[in-house]
Structure 1
């Protein structure tokens, strides 16, 4: 799942080398924390939040396949 996030987000931003992706794990939950340049945040959020919602939906589906709840949070 982490590789998927790095691939998708890396292709959306201008500075993929500035992406910092960390994760917090619990028993049946994984939370990914995304930190990136302030100028790249609007590209990840997208118009009306559609891009971030699509990423979260795909991440949730991938997590469901593995039996965990996966979410993504943007850290500013």
Structure 2
């Protein structure tokens, strides 16, 4: 799951070296991913009207559901 989101983010941004993804588990059924990118690349990851971010969250939710978990994606600059 983490590798998949990291792969997508690195291919969206101009500077893939600045992409950092941290994973935490608030409880056993929830996975929280925090995506950090450079300030100049935040718009590329979020997309117009948040559609790119929403698509990433939808894919993440589908992957997590297969494992019987809930996933949360936070995007920071």
Aligned counterpart, 2:17: 17
| Structure 1 residues without counterparts, runs of 5 or longer | none
Aligned counterpart, 2:55: 54
| Structure 2 residues without counterparts, runs of 5 or longer | none
* Stretches (4+) displaced over 6 A: none
Q: Deviations over 1:8-28 (max 9, x none)?
A: 111000111111110111210
- The alignment's TM-score, normalised by the length of structure 1, stands at 0.95
Question: Does residue 1:45 correspond to 2:33, yes or no?
Answer: no
Aligned length: 76
- The alignment's TM-score, normalised by the length of structure 2, stands at 0.94
TM-fit CA distance, 1:74:
1.1
TM-fit CA distance, 1:75:
2.1
Measured on the aligned residues, the alpha-carbon RMSD in Å equals: 0.8
Q: Deviations over 1:15-68 (max 9, x none)?
A: 111111101112100000011101100001100110000000000000000111
